Amino acid sequence: MAKTKPLKALLLHNVVAPYRLPVFEEISRQLDLTVYFCKTITADRYWDPSLDGYTFNRRVLPDFAVGPFFLNPTLVKHLLRERYDVYLVGDFPEMAFATFITIAVAKLRRKPVVLWSETVDHEVNYFDHLAASRKLRHRALRRALTGLIAIYRRFLLRLPDQFVALSQLAETFLVKEGVDKNSIHMGIQVMPKAQLGKPDTAKANSPYADKKVVLFVGYLRAMKGVDVLIRAFRKVHDPATQLVIVGDGPEAAALKQLARGDKRIKFTGFLNDPHRANLLSWADVMVLPTFADCWGFVVNESLYHGTPVITTSAAGAAELLQHGENGLVVAPRDEIALSRALEQILGDPKTQRRMKASARQLREHITDTAVGARPILEALKAAGGVQ
């Protein structure tokens, strides 16, 4: 009997994201996969985009920016030269031109299309000053832009044959937009172990040995809600509690001004491992107070290190939390609820120990590349008619 050739799949991705690469490697073990990256890295990322050590087929396409969009002048040439059995594109508005060009080539060749979606609503969060502002003119402009994005997305969602939803919130959004639930393959986003640092110092030997540590790790942009965290933390009056804010970004100066006068609040700037891993393991609770986040990988990282998490219902990764067991979920922008959540975890050592133990129970599942690859493989195989 002749051996069946593996399904030949093209995956169009926005940037070379280190946490995706082990997942793509996992997919390539089962399919003949080629990944086109539309951009190497964006200005708000501090990670290393190296592809060294990975064996899956890939191209990093030349690009240039037009406002918030990036264009890839060689994409059409490669799409016309190479043939695939199934085409996977992402719902990333910044690469809309590449997405629609790839779909057009797939339709021209009568090949199925899969859409990768992390989207949870139509809100435009690319421009921080609009997304976080309460000013009437900014809110009006954001509504107008959101309307345009909604038109783009509703057209886009009519084109694929199968869908990948990388959170429960993403699946709910797709269904709300009229996508047949039977065509959606839902899964979680994982942070592969290869991307996780290892602590090299015990908390007992750290500067925080006698402190209760509240930790934030992330890019300091308005949508992360760090200002809400600072105000909520200042309502916690325990002098033995310290807020450590790890990261850099456009809001750094304003946040430092907001925290001025409270010696319990420390800004470290951007940190690499093992310093980052140390703080994630030393923390009593990690807080992601985001206003909007398709996922939030720092939640995976924190749970892996056995640290309970407080995040908002606007984070896709909130689905990893069992409320009251390994963390708490609060409403975005609600500093009173966030302050009470901090006091609930920090004020009871027994609760802390129970939550830390519960957090560790998820560490294998949320770092398993096979778990991350599963919904993508299912969608590609379903679209390509492979069992």
Percent of the chain with pLDDT over 90: 79
* Structure token pair of residue 79: 């799409």
The domain 193-367 is placed in CATH, from the list 3.40.50.2000, 3.30.1490.20, 3.20.20.140, 1.20.120.430, at: 3.40.50.2000
Residue ranges of alpha helices (H) inside 159-211 are 168-176
Q: Give, in words, the CATH class of 8-118+157-190+368-384.
A: alpha beta
Q: Where in the chain is the domain with CATH 3.40.50.2000?
A: 8-118+157-190+368-384, 193-367
Residue ranges of alpha helices (H) inside the chain are 21-28, 75-81, 96-108, 128-132, 136-156, 168-176, 226-233, 252-259, 275-282, 297-304, 335-346, 349-360, 369-384
Using one digit for the tens of pLDDT, what is the confidence trace for 146-164? Answer: 888 888 899 999 999 999 9
Using one digit for the tens of pLDDT, what is the confidence trace for 277-314? Answer: 999 999 999 999 999 899 999 999 999 999 999 999 99
pTM: 0.91
DSSP code of residue 166: S
Q: Report how far residue 22's alpha carbon sits from residue 190's, in angstroms, rounded to the nearest whole number.
A: 10
Helix, strand, coil percent content, the chain, rounded in steps of 5? 40, 20, 40
Q: Are 153 and 119 in contact (CB under 8 A)?
A: yes
Using one digit for the tens of pLDDT, what is the confidence trace for 224-280? Answer: 999 999 999 999 999 999 999 999 999 999 999 999 999 999 999 999 999 999 999
